[in-house]
């Protein structure tokens, strides 16, 4: 093993999770448009960053943002509005760390249920959620604007 060349290793030790700031919006919008068929606009991301009942966390490596998770809170239930990791940084455990941090915050707030919708064709996201023990509860027909169905998944916390 070449100990000097770790540029492609998973960099988990350098990962920092923090609350979003409005100055992050350009980078977050870039990640959105390169990851989703129907990305949030920059205006929507900025609004979400300012709503009190939302936990909006970003993951960064040496001050370079690699992903985000946005979760809304209502009574004792929470809903993942979005989770995304930059394409070049996927499958290194960063999405898991963002989700774990969110779950920690939900435990502190005594929230007992976490829900989300995923495109039925988004097999990688569904595998990701299954690893966290989310269970499929229903299919929402033509949930997305292009007609694709959504799988609703729930995790009891
Ligand atoms: C879903 C997403 C956030 C996962 O982030 P990530 O940092 O790549 O995920 P992790 O590295 O933490 O993966 C954890 C586990 O999830 C599963 N998983 C993640 N990506 C997967 C893939 N492409 N195929 C199969 N399983 C996958 C695996 O079980 C993985 O564990 P392993 O690597 O030990 O096998 C990321 O793929 C992403 O940004 N996708 C595009 C946006 C998106 O679809 N968001 C969800 C909308 S509902």
Q: What is the pLDDT of residues 53-111, one digit of tens each?
A: 999 999 999 999 999 999 999 989 999 999 999 999 999 999 999 999 999 999 999 99
- Sequence-ordered list of residues with C-beta below 8 angstroms from that of 34, at least 6 positions apart, any chain: 86, 87
Q: Provide the number of structural domains found in the chain.
A: 1
Task: Report the atom number in ligand 1 closest to the C-alpha of 96.
Answer: 12
Mutate which of 57, 115, 128 for ligand 1 pocket (most atoms within 8 A of beta carbon): 128
Q: Which domain holds residue 114?
A: 15-156
pLDDT of residue 6: 44
Starting at the edge strand found earlier in the chain, the sheet holding 64-74 runs 15-19, 54-61, 64-74, 77-85, 113-119, 150-156, 135-140
Q: What is the pTM of this model?
A: 0.94
Q: What is the pLDDT of residues 112-136, one digit of tens each?
A: 999 999 999 999 999 999 999 999 9
**Domain containing residue 107: CATH number:** 3.40.630.30
Query: What residues line ligand 1, using a CB cutoff of 6 Å?
Result: 35, 83-85, 90-96, 118, 122, 124-125, 127-128, 131
CA distance 131 to 92: 14
Asked whether residue 45 is assigned to any structural domain, the reply reads: yes
Calculate how far, in angstroms, residue 95's C-alpha sits from the geometric centre of ligand 1. 7
């Amino acid at each position: 093993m070449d100990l000097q060349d770790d540029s492609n290793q998973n960099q988990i030790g350098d990962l920092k999770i923090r609350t979003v700031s409005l100055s992050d919006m350009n980078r977050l919008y870039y990640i959105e448009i390169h990851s989703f068929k129907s990305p949030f606009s920059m205006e929507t991301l900025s609004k979400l960053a300012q709503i009190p009942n939302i936990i909006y966390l970003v993951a960064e490596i040496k001050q370079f943002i690699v992903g985000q998770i946005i979760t809304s809170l209502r009574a004792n239930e929470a809903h993942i509005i979005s989770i995304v990791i930059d394409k070049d940084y996927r499958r290194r455990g960063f999405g898991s760390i963002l989700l774990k941090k969110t779950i920690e915050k939900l435990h502190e707030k005594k929230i007992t249920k976490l829900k989300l919708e995923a495109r039925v064709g988004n097999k990688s996201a569904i595998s990701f959620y299954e690893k966290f023990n989310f269970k499929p509860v229903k299919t929402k027909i033509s949930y997305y604007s292009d007609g694709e169905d959504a799988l609703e998944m729930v995790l009891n916390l």
